[in-house]
Structure 1
């Protein structure tokens, strides 16, 4: 009390002198050191407790490193899917591993997947958190990252955008983009080895910009195209942001503030430079944002594309949906939500569909009998009149449909995102799920399961296996349940139109330098590490 009285009666002029006299720097240092030690012990105790997660539940898990968990082992070979499959072979259909000290449950048990993805989907209404993920209540989240009611509202509003009727209007645009692909391949690929994966990337980006934004940016013909190069840079930069991603993995409690801090730094750097030096994602978002603003301000600019469909979209509420209060929700997407979701469509559609086309080309070159059968079906369907190719007619080719499904079964692409996060405490098949607990699906083990895909060996490429009705959960190329891929129909139409045009114009042949067995690398998607090298022989139709 005496000391407090002395402080109160000090003049401001003498206050700092009092501090110098009364406060011992050594004591301050000791106090800070002790506090830090206590906090460190508390944090280490939390880590120790986290690593007991699976043991308490009687769930097997591979050996892990303290602090790192299994993440270093998982990321070493950049082949997430293969590692999960190997662990499944050792520990069974359901087991756990640790990303840092964050427990991830893995399963290939269809009964558990049925509960999580469908029956109890309302309790698992979030995606797995990425290492640089924003907070769940961040207004800048797109459909993929949104959770609970925000996700449900956005999905309801956006579903009609991907209806068959709306996609039918985009069919001619896709056909036109595919014709450009064929023209470029005619120029570059006549009986000379090409890495066809690079052509597919330009084609899918061209399709997205024309269908989504109504903008023709000459991406397939122009080799040094800013839009294409920026998109490529986004993926390169993402793969090289190792330190921030590791911080997000190992210190996952701080993920909510990590990404905003990185974003702030990036924005400051962008403001300092000019538009040429903008980081690629900011540059692309800026361009897309400008298009959205122009469309909002000028009715004359209306087009049949995703921008307009999303701006015009209203939520069509289903009165039978249980436990969902619509009254407090917006029935429109905000311009910012339109912008963020257009960025999502651009990045997701670019990498996934181009990769599927690359795998398809590898199969066509490797299995000439498959190519011959598809060629015959296409010729019979269109009778040399390729003007009949549209979003409806391509769906009628039965063997092509089986072929595409078999490619996606044999070479699943987006395996790392087939996961759900628990948003409400629940129990599934005797396993207690706490809020924020993540369950990931081992897609490869499911896609190569003898019981699910026999009697023909799943390791054999065999499109006819899709003639038989199977458990829909056995095919996870687009996920499953209410949160499956919203762009699935668009992707399949784009993929089929491209394959039809490719097969009708060229015979795809293996090249001397091509890989018989693809070497994979995996980030967000699983792709051919060295691309796909083939020879193209012009057909005499």
Structure 2
């Protein structure tokens, strides 16, 4: 069949052009392919020229198909680290990537020499809204936007949102009670996905949903799940292999507004909400969207109170009055322009609300599922947690306060150990070099991606004895005081200025849910519980490959 089609195409071409023209076209195409292969192979010889151990690349995909093959990406990285050492290279298409597991070098990249590694890898397709969020922004604009967003997740702001979290957990406990009445175990990963999406929708997107109960019928829940499951699609792969397609898909996406269903739903909703809130400023809203809006619009007013706007400030003594006035007006105008540049545009507010959903939905569901699973598999640890909860949460008391959460030291240890043994994000901590840089013994060229292998660090027996053992005592105050633990040996949320900005939000949500769940129910394994857990990686996160079935028995 294929031969027949090729024969038909060949006949058509021969009829449509002269033999000479056809020969020239074939010759030109052949020369182009030869040139492309030579350029490609030159790019893929970078690590050989630098003397850095590397994975032998395929001409087209480099090592991407290996990482996206049947073997889990984390398992493949483990194999490569064992073979090539703590620093080695691999290619994604023609793009050089360096894996660094050496903790001192990691600290240099993420913290000490951050200015040389301040950007995340460039987007393959620079589509909206991701180009306007803190994941896609680069250089000075990222710093400006991050400085505006940082106060959004302060302790004071989190105290305002714990009431919403408690209300969403009320719904979760109601579902647990319904299943108990029917004597049915629960699938917890889907349930926690519904919880985290409900919380994010209400706390970030100004959108009230009921994803915990209506998962099968909720279009937004289904669209969000679909988006994350198919984030790595053939179009992305094509753009990775051939840069020209990245530019083509960027143009098509942005000019024709071809976004996914979930993205369109969020962008359309948030545009409407921003218009409403700007018209009615008398009503007070408690959510991240409002905090971003206030931070963006109040910054100009607050910064204008800065001494730089006072007539006599920053003008040398002895300057004539007319000159002083002229210099002052020029300075004020320039400063106002700089401040306006720092304020968030509507596109950036919407984009960052959108990315908070992507960053918090699956990761929070993963961490909650992992913690619940580990507690069910370790009843002694769960019992010790229950005793702590009884000390701080009175019997019959429902909602938990921010202050109470921060008194639960053993819960904090459990959650920290859960994130160590089953980190929700395993291939996302990466940086792009801004310029050529000498990193220890290694010369790192400009425009090289650096990947930090979180899973392998968290399971290194040299750093964590018996790394597969669930032991919250690793994070006890006594152990912390007696051990000298390298700061980069535990990085579930990244490290340095580009670490996760929503870490307080994520931890608070998870701790509220686990505390209230264990205070009222005993989590147990059952016949349907997958032991051990197995995973798959559609994107940069580990997600359970099978349903996580657990029983929740009501405590007397």
- The TM-score range, normalised by the shorter chain, is 0.7 to 0.9
Whole-angstrom CA distance in 2 between matches of 1:387 and 1:265: 49
Partner residue, 1:345: 356
TM alignment of 1:93-104, pairs within 5 A? 93-104=86-97
Matched residue of 2:424: which SS?
Answer: coil
Separation in structure 1 between the aligned mates of residue 71 and residue 350 of structure 2, nearest angstrom: 31
The answer to whether the 8 A contact 1:134-1:255 is kept is no
Is the 2:536–2:542 Cα contact (8 Å) retained in structure 1? yes
Residue aligning to 1:299: 281
Q: What is the rounded CA distance, in whole Å, between the counterparts of 1:416 and 1:509 in structure 2?
A: 31
Shift of 1:464: 0.5
- Measure, in 1, the Cα distance between the counterparts of 2:486 and 2:432: 23
Do the aligned partners of residues 78 and 497 (structure 1) sit closer, same or farther apart at CA in structure 2, a change above 3 Å counting?
Answer: farther
Moved more, 253-262 or 201-210: 253-262
Q: Which structure 2 residues correspond to residues 29-48 of structure 1 after superposition, within 5 A?
A: 29-48=22-41
Normalising by structure 1, we get a TM-score of 0.86
CA–CA distance in 2 between the matches of 1:351 and 1:525? 8
Which position in structure 1 is the counterpart of 2:173?
Answer: 182
Equivalent of 2:425, from 414, 425, 445?
414
Deviation of 1:282 (Å): 1.7
Aligned CA distance change for structure 1 residues 140 and 441 (closer, same or farther; 3 Å): closer
> In structure 2, which of residues 412, 423, 443 is the aligned counterpart of residue 432 of structure 1?
443
2:336, 2:141 → 1: CA distance?
11
The CA distance in 2 between the partners of 1:213 and 1:170, in whole Å, is 13
Instruction: Name the counterpart of 1:199.
Output: 191
Cα distance per residue 1:369-405 (max 9 Å; x no partner) = 1110110111111232635622232122111111001
Does the CA contact (< 8 Å) of 1:266 and 1:279 recur in 2? no
For residue 56 of structure 1, the aligned residue among 49, 62, 67 is: 49
Tell me whether 1:448 sits opposite 2:427 in the alignment: no
Q: Which runs of 5+ in 1 are unaligned?
A: 1-23, 271-277, 320-324
Once the two structures are TM-superposed, the CA of residue 27 in structure 1 deviates from its matched residue by 4.5
Aligned ranges for residues 18-37 of structure 1 at < 5 Å? 25-37=18-30
Contact 2:168 2:198 in 1 (8 A): yes
Normalising by structure 2, we get a TM-score of 0.84
Q: Distance in 1 between matches of 2:521 and 2:396?
A: 16
Which whole-Å deviations, capped at 9, do the CAs of 1:445-487 have from their partners, x for residues lacking one?
2111223223xx1221111011233222111210111000011
3-state secondary structure, aligned to 2:406: helix
Match of 1:360 in 2: 371
CA distance in 2, matches of 1:371, 1:139: 40
| Alpha-carbon distance, 1:264 to partner | 4.7
**Unaligned stretches of 5+ residues in structure 2:** 1-16, 308-334
Q: Deviations over 1:169-198 (max 9, x none)?
A: 111111111111111121124542221111
Matched, 1:71 2:64: yes
Question: Pick from 119, 125, 135: which aligns with 1:126?
Answer: 119
Mean CA deviation greater in 95-104 or 125-134: 125-134
Q: Which residue pairs with 1:255 in the alignment?
A: 246
RMSD of Structure 2 on Structure 1 (CA): 2.5
Counterpart in 2 of 1:156?
147
Q: Any idea what the Cα deviations from partners look like across 1:204-234, whole Å, max 9, x if unmatched?
A: 0111111113332233333412222221222
* 2:263 match: 281
Return the offset for 1:495. 0.4
2:236 equivalent in structure 1: 245
Q: 1:383 aligns with which of 394, 397, 416?
A: 394
- 374, 389, 398: which is aligned to 2:409? 398
Instruction: Look up the match of 2:322.
Output: none
For the pair 1:215 / 2:189, whether they are aligned, the reply is no
CA distance in 2, matches of 1:407, 1:133: 35
Q: 1:463 aligns with which of 472, 488, 510?
A: 472
Instruction: Judge which range, 28-37 or 403-412, deviates more.
Output: 28-37
Secondary structure (helix, strand or coil) at the match of 1:453 reads coil
Equivalence for 1:498: 513
Aligned residues: 498
